[in-house]
C-alpha cells in the first residue's frame, strides 16, 4: 500500500471534517516540495507550527493538522486530513495527551517511516501542574518560563533532521533570538500580572487551560469545562453558577475555542441570585487567533492574554514605549 493510501485510510470515516471548520489543508500539489535539503515538517497544533516557523523561517515547509482556533484536546480530523502528511519528512506532536483525535494519523505516519518527535518529552518529572482530572496539564505554553523546554526540543529536532550546515546555523541563530523574545515576554507578564491585587487573583475561565499561567504568576484558576468533560450540560452549568455565587470573581473569561453561551448562562444564573459577575474579554486558551502578527502568533497571543487578564482584574497595562 502506498503512503498516500495508508494515510488516507487512517483518516477515513472520522466524524468532523476540516472543511467544516473552514480550513483546507495544503496538499503537495498546492505546496510543492522545494529543491535541496529542505524539510517538510508537519506540526499537530498551530502553536507548534508557529514555533517551527519561528526557528526555521523559509527553510522549512510547515503544515499543521488543525486550524488555528481549534481545541486540540477535542479536535477530530476529517478524511482529507491525511493529505497533510504526504511527503512529510518530520512530524512534531505536542504530547501529554493533548491530541487524542490525531492518534490514528500519527500511528500511520510512524508505520510509513516518518519520524515523529514529541515536543514535551524533555519536561522534567513533575514539572506540569495536574488538571482536576488528575492528568498532567498539557497547556505549557501559558508559562513563558517553561516554554523554552519545548523550544529546545523542537530546535534539536530540526538539527537532527537537516544536514545542511547553513540551515543548522540559521536554526541556532533563530533559536537564540526566539528564546530571548520568550524571556522578555516572561518578564513583561511578570510585571503586568504583578499589578493585579492579590484578592482579585482568581482566574475564572470557560476551559481549564490556564493552570500553567496560574502557577507561574500566582493565580487560582477555576473553569467551567475541564479535560474530562467534552461539553457542558445544564447540570454542569448550574454547578458552575453556584461556584460563581460562592466565590464572586471579578470577571469570568470566555474562550476563543468554545461557544461562550454556556459561560453566559452561568453568569446570568448567578445574576439571578444577585451576584454580578462581568463577562470579560476573550482569551486564547488552547489555540491562536486567525491570521495576523499578534494573537495569530505565540508571542502575541500570550501577551494579549496577559493584557486582557490584567485589564479585567484591576489594572490596565501601561502603554508600550
State the pLDDT at residue 206.
93
Number of domains in the chain: 2
- For the record, the C-alpha cell of 266 comes out as 452561568
Do 150 and 39 sit in the same domain of this protein?
A: yes
Rounded to two decimals, the pTM is 0.85
Pair (304, 267) in one structural domain = yes
In the listed set 188, 215, 234, which residue is the last one of a domain according to the structure? 188
Give Cα 98 to chain centroid, integer Å.
9
| DSSP of 221-252 | EEEEE-TT-SS--HHHHHHHHHHHHHH--S-E
pLDDT of 163 above 50: yes
Is the pLDDT at 28 greater than 50? The verdict is no
Q: Write out the DSSP string of 40-53.
A: EEEESSHHHHHHHH
Q: Is the pLDDT of residue 205 over 60?
A: yes
Residues near 47 by beta carbon (within 8 Å), at least 6 away in sequence = 94, 141, 287, 288, 298, 301
**Do both 23 and 158 map to the same domain?**
yes
Q: What is the structure's pLDDT at 30? A: 39
Among 42-51, 64-73, 228-237, the least confident range: 228-237
Residue 225 lies in a domain: yes
The answer on 168 and 259 residing in a single domain is: no
277 and 139 co-located in one domain: no
Stronger pLDDT, 59 or 252, i.e. the higher one: 252
297: CATH: 3.40.50.1980
- Asked if residue 137 and residue 16 are part of one domain, the reply reads yes
Q: What is the pLDDT of residues 181-199, one digit of tens each?
A: 999 999 999 999 999 999 9
Q: Are the CB atoms for 147 and 119 separated by under 8 Å?
A: no
Q: Are residues 166 and 211 in the same domain?
A: no
* Residue carrying the nine cell digits 518529552: 121
Q: Which of 48-52, 161-165, 179-183 has the lowest mean pLDDT?
A: 161-165
Task: Give CA–CA dist 132/135, Å, rounded.
Answer: 8
Residue 297, pLDDT > 90, answer yes
Which domain-ending residue is among 188, 209, 234? 188
Per the model's pLDDT, the better-predicted residue between 31 and 261 turns out to be: 261
Angle between helices 3-11 and 103-111 (to 10 degrees): 160
Where residue 315 falls among pLDDT bands split at 50, 70, 90? Answer: low
Domain coverage including residue 256: 196-312
Q: Is the pLDDT of residue 19 over 50?
A: no
Question: Helix axis angle, 234-247 relative to 261-272, nearest 10°?
Answer: 50
Give the lowest-confidence range in 214-223, 225-234, 305-314: 225-234
More confident residue, 291 or 113: 113
46 and 152 assigned to the same domain? yes
End-of-domain residue from the set 188, 210, 229: 188
Mean pLDDT, all residues of the chain: 86
pLDDT of residue 14: 36
291 versus 275: the higher-pLDDT residue is 275
> Band of the pLDDT at 321, cuts 50, 70, 90?
very low
**In this structure, are 175 and 42 located in the same domain?**
yes
In a domain, 150, yes or no: yes
Residue with cell 470566555: 254
Q: Classify residue 320: in a domain, yes or no.
A: no
Amino acid at each position: 500500500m502506498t503512503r498516500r493510501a495508508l494515510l488516507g485510510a487512517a483518516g477515513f470515516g472520522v466524524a468532523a471534517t476540516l472543511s467544516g471548520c473552514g480550513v483546507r489543508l495544503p496538499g503537495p500539489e498546492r505546496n510543492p516540495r522545494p529543491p535541496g535539503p529542505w524539510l517538510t515538517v508537519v506540526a499537530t497544533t498551530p502553536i507548534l507550527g508557529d514555533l517551527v516557523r519561528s526557528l526555521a523561517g523559509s527553510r522549512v515547509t510547515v503544515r499543521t493538522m488543525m486550524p488555528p482556533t481549534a481545541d486540540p484536546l477535542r479536535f477530530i480530523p476529517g478524511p482529507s486530513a491525511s493529505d497533510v502528511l504526504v511527503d512529510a519528512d518530520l512530524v512534531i506532536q505536542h504530547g501529554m495527551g493533548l491530541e487524542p483525535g490525531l492518534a490514528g494519523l500519527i500511528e500511520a505516519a510512524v508505520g510509513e517511516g516518518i519520524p515523529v518527535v514529541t515536543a514535551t518529552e524533555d519536561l522534567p518529572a513533575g514539572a506540569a501542574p495536574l488538571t482536576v482530572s488528575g492528568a498532567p496539564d498539557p497547556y505549557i505554553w501559558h508559562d513563558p518560563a517553561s516554554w523554552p523546554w519545548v523550544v529546545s526540543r523542537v530546535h534539536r529536532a530540526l538539527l537532527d533532521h537537516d544536514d545542511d550546515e547553513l540551515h543548522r546555523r540559521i536554526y541556532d541563530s533563530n533559536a537564540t533570538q526566539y528564546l530571548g523574545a520568550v524571556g522578555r515576554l516572561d518578564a513583561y507578564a511578570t510585571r503586568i500580572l504583578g499589578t493585579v491585587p492579590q484578592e482579585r487573583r482568581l482566574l475564572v475561565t470557560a476551559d481549564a487551560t490556564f493552570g500553567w499561567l496560574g502557577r507561574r504568576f500566582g493565580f487560582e484558576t477555576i473553569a467551567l469545562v475541564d479535560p474530562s468533560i467534552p461539553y457542558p450540560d445544564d447540570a454542569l452549568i448550574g454547578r458552575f453558577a453556584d461556584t460563581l455565587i460562592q466565590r464572586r470573581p471579578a470577571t469570568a473569561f470566555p474562550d476563543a475555542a468554545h461557544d461562550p453561551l454556556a459561560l453566559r448562562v452561568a453568569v446570568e444564573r448567578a445574576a439571578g441570585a444577585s451576584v454580578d459577575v462581568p463577562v470579560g474579554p476573550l482569551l486564547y486558551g488552547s489555540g491562536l487567533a486567525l491570521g495576523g502578527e499578534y494573537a495569530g502568533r505565540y508571542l502575541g497571543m500570550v501577551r494579549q492574554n496577559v493584557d486582557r487578564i490584567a485589564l479585567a482584574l484591576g489594572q490596565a497595562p501601561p502603554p508600550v514605549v
